[in-house]
Amino acid sequence: MTRATTIDAPPASRRASSPVARGIGRTFASREFSVFAALAILLVVTTVANPRFLTPQGTKDLLLNAAIFVVMAVGEALVIITRNVDLSVGSILGLTAFSTGAVYSAVPSMPLIGIFLVGIVLGAILGAVNGLIVTTAKVPALVITLGTLYIFRGINNAWAGSTQYFVGNDPPEFGNLSVQVVAGVPLLALIALVVTVVFALYMFGARSGRDLYAIGSDPVAAELFGIRVRTRVITAFVASGALSGLAGVLYASRFNSVGADTGTGYELQIVAAVVVGGVAIFGGSGTVAGAAIGAVLLTTMTGALAALNVSKFWQQAIVGVLIIAAILITKIISVRNARRLRVSEAKNV
pLDDT at position 16 is 52
Contacts of 67 (CB under 8 A, 6+ apart): 186, 188, 189, 191, 192, 250, 254
pLDDT above 60: residue 151: yes
- pLDDT tops 90 at residue 53: no
Bigger pLDDT: 75 or 337?
A: 75
- Which runs of consecutive H residues, i.e. helices, occur in 177-287? 187-205, 207-217, 219-224, 229-255, 266-276
Q: Which of 33-42, 53-62, 202-211, 299-308 has the highest mean pLDDT?
A: 202-211
- SS3 for 75? helix
- pTM for this one? 0.86
Task: Say whether 185 sits in a helix, a strand or coil.
Answer: strand
- Residues with Cβ within 8 Å of 132's Cβ and at least 6 positions away in sequence, in order, are 234
Averaged pLDDT of the chain: 86
Distance between CA atoms of residues 219 and 30, nearest Å: 25
* Residue 182: half-sphere exposure toward Cβ, Cα within 13 Å: 7
173/153: higher pLDDT: 153
Given this model, what pLDDT does residue 145 score?
A: 95
3-state secondary structure (DSSP) of residue 83: coil
Mean pLDDT calculated for residue range 7-20: 56
Q: Kindly indicate the confidence band of residue 257, based on its pLDDT and cuts at 50, 70 and 90.
A: confident
What is the average pLDDT across 252-271? 87
Question: What percent of the chain is predicted at pLDDT more than 70?
Answer: 90
CB distance 167 to 256 below 8 Å: yes
In Å, how far from its chain's centre is CA 51? 29
Q: How confident is the model at residue 21 (pLDDT cuts 50, 70, 90)?
A: confident
Helix (H, G, I), strand (E, B) or coil at 58: helix
Nearest to 101 by CA among 161, 163, 58, 50: 163
Residue 257, classed as helix, strand or coil, is: strand
Contact yes or no for 42/300 (Cβ under 8 A): yes
pLDDT for the residue 7: 46
The pLDDT confidence band at residue 4, using thresholds 50, 70 and 90, is very low
Average pLDDT, stretch 67-77?
Answer: 96
Tell me which DSSP letter residue 186 carries: E
Residue 289: CA count within 13 A, CB half-sphere: 14
Rounded CA-CA distance 121/190 in Å is: 21
Name the β-bridge partners of 185: 182
How far apart are the C-alpha atoms of 100 and 68, rounded to whole Å?
15
In this prediction, residue 179 has a pLDDT band, given cuts at 50, 70 and 90, of: confident
Rounded Cα–Cα distance for residues 195 and 198 (Å): 5
CA distances from 286 to 23, 26, 206, 280, 317 (A): 18, 14, 16, 6, 24
What pLDDT, in 10s, does the model give residues 130-144? 999 999 998 899 999
pLDDT at 120 over 80: yes
86-90, 223-227, 258-262: least confidently modelled range? 258-262
With 60 as the cut, is the pLDDT of residue 263 above it? Answer: yes
Contact call for residues 134 and 84 (beta carbons, < 8 A): yes
Q: Mean pLDDT across the stretch 31-56?
A: 84
Give, in order, the Cα–Cα distances in Å from 4 to each of 1, 7, 8, 11.
10, 10, 13, 22
